């Protein structure tokens, strides 16, 4: 019997090619998965943010620690510098839109979301994870700092309430008060908030200032700051006619503080 030739595929070369493709796919998946992990510490998170902003053709990004909370200054190619406390960020999300990866982040007081857009999933993951890490750390630092500050202010408020004659407002605090009220009349809420905060730095036993700063913080969606200032107000004026209303505001604002 004459044998019919059997056609055989060159399995070894094909297997080798398939193996190479599989290895490349696995490597790519591993690279994306490794970027999805959170940073190990603050320096690595800051390094990731810096690398991604450089990749996105931004000029520079700077970090500062103020009372344990990270302050970030970002200088875009065009437009003004953007400086934010990371404890003011109240939402972060990452999505894919029109073939691009976009990381959106909402800062209290800003009408619109800020964003970073890139075609690279790994860069987007790095930015998302680093921003989330530093924001979470800053929120925790702000909570710890506010708790310690309230405990310290409690004794100061008790001493102030015991005084028969209350000390007059300092000249520096009065200057900030005037500027705050003018800014509020002009609907410049950020300026008004900043002036009230500066006044309270030098003259903290000012109930009206604490109350107004609390309301401005809330209007700017800085609910942690709003809660902190209203609690200081209540330490200074626990029996004020609006004390119960102030306590109710604290409950509402505490519920709105972002949790990461």
Cα(247)–Cα(240) distance, rounded to whole angstroms? 11
Cα(253)–Cα(260) distance, rounded to whole angstroms? 16
Q: Write out pLDDT tens, residues 181-230.
A: 999 999 999 899 999 999 999 999 999 999 999 999 999 999 999 999 99
The pTM of the whole model exceeds 0.85? no
Evaluate whether residue 25 is within a structural domain.
no
Evaluate whether residue 197 is within a structural domain.
yes
Cα(229)–Cα(249) distance, rounded to whole angstroms? 11
Cα(113)–Cα(108) distance, rounded to whole angstroms? 10
37 CB-contact burial (10 Å; exposed 0-12 / middle 13-18 / buried 19+): exposed
* 172 and 242 both lie in a single domain: yes
Evaluate whether residue 250 is within a structural domain.
yes
User: What distances in angstroms separate CA 222 from CA 151, 160, 228, 257, one per listed residue?
Assistant: 21, 27, 10, 8
Cα(129)–Cα(122) distance, rounded to whole angstroms? 10
Cα(58)–Cα(75) distance, rounded to whole angstroms? 7
Of the listed ranges 1-10, 151-160, 208-217, the least confidently predicted one is 1-10
Q: What is the pLDDT, as a whole number, of residue 153? A: 98
Evaluate whether residue 53 is within a structural domain.
yes
Q: What is the pLDDT, as a whole number, of residue 59? A: 61
* 118 and 46 both lie in a single domain: yes
Evaluate whether residue 158 is within a structural domain.
no
- Angle at the Cα of 163 (from 161 to 165), degrees rounded to 5? 120
Q: Write out pLDDT tens, residues 51-89.
A: 888 777 666 678 887 766 787 877 665 566 667 788 889
Token pair for 152: 């310290």
Average pLDDT over residues 217-246: 97
Q: Give me the CATH number covering residue 129.
A: 2.30.29
220, 250 in Cβ contact below 8 A?
Answer: no
Of the listed ranges 1-10, 41-50, 112-121, the least confidently predicted one is 1-10
Evaluate whether residue 243 is within a structural domain.
yes
* 93 and 186 both lie in a single domain: no
Q: What is the pLDDT, as a whole number, of residue 35? A: 54
* 133 and 189 both lie in a single domain: no
Q: Give me the CATH number covering residue 172.
A: 1.25.40.10
Q: Cβ of 106: how many Cβ atoms within 10 Å?
A: 19
Q: What is the pLDDT, as a whole number, of residue 109? A: 78
User: In the chain, at which residue ranges do the beta strands (DSSP E only) sit?
Assistant: 60-66, 69-75, 82-85, 89-97, 100-107, 114-118
Evaluate whether residue 152 is within a structural domain.
no
Cα(51)–Cα(118) distance, rounded to whole angstroms? 13
φ, ψ dihedrals at 91, nearest 5° = -165, 140
Which 8-state DSSP code applies to residue 258? -
Which 8-state DSSP code applies to residue 41? S
* 197 and 105 both lie in a single domain: no
* 181 and 126 both lie in a single domain: no
Q: Which residue has the tokens 């750390």?
A: 137
- Per the structure, the count of domains in the chain is 2
* 54 and 120 both lie in a single domain: yes
* 129 and 44 both lie in a single domain: yes
Q: How confident is the model at residue 6 (pLDDT cuts 50, 70, 90)?
A: very low
- In this predicted structure, the answer to whether residue 158 has a pLDDT above a threshold of 70 is yes
* 131 and 39 both lie in a single domain: yes
Q: What is the pLDDT, as a whole number, of residue 36? A: 73
Token pair for 231: 């609690």
* 109 and 38 both lie in a single domain: yes
Query: What is the span of the domain harbouring residue 123?
Result: 34-137
* 121 and 210 both lie in a single domain: no
Q: In what order do the strands lie in the sheet with 82-85?
A: 60-66, 69-75, 82-85
Cα(231)–Cα(216) distance, rounded to whole angstroms? 14
Q: Write out pLDDT tens, residues 103-147.
A: 999 988 787 888 888 899 999 999 999 999 999 999 999 999 999
Q: Which residue has the tokens 């903290």?
A: 204
């Amino acid at each position: 019997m004459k044998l019919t030739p059997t056609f055989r595929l060159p399995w070894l070369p094909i297997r080798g090619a398939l193996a190479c493709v599989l290895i490349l796919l696995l490597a790519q998946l591993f690279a994306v998965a490794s970027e999805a992990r959170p940073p190990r510490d603050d320096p690595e998170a800051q390094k990731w943010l810096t690398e991604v902003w450089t990749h996105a053709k931004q000029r520079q990004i700077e970090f500062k620690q103020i009372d344990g909370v990270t302050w970030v200054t970002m200088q875009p190619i065009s437009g003004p510098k953007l400086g934010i406390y990371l404890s003011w960020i109240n939402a972060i999300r990452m999505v894919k839109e029109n073939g691009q990866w976009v990381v959106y982040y909402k800062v209290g007081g800003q009408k619109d979301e800020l964003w970073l857009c890139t075609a690279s999933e790994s860069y987007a993951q790095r930015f998302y994870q680093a921003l989330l890490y530093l924001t979470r750390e800053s929120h925790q630092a702000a909570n710890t700092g506010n708790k310690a500050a309230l405990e310290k202010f409690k004794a100061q408020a008790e001493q102030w309430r015991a005084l028969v004659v209350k000390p007059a407002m300092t000249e520096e605090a009065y200057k900030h008060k005037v500027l705050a009220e003018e800014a509020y009349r002009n609907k410049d809420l950020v300026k008004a908030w900043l002036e009230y905060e500066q006044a309270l730095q030098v003259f903290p036993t000012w109930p009206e200032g604490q109350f107004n700063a609390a309301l401005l913080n809330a209007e700017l969606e800085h609910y942690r700051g709003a809660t902190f200032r209203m609690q200081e107000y209540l330490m200074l004026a626990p029996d004020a006619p609006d004390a119960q209303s102030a306590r109710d505001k604290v409950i509402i604002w505490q519920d709105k503080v972002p949790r990461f």
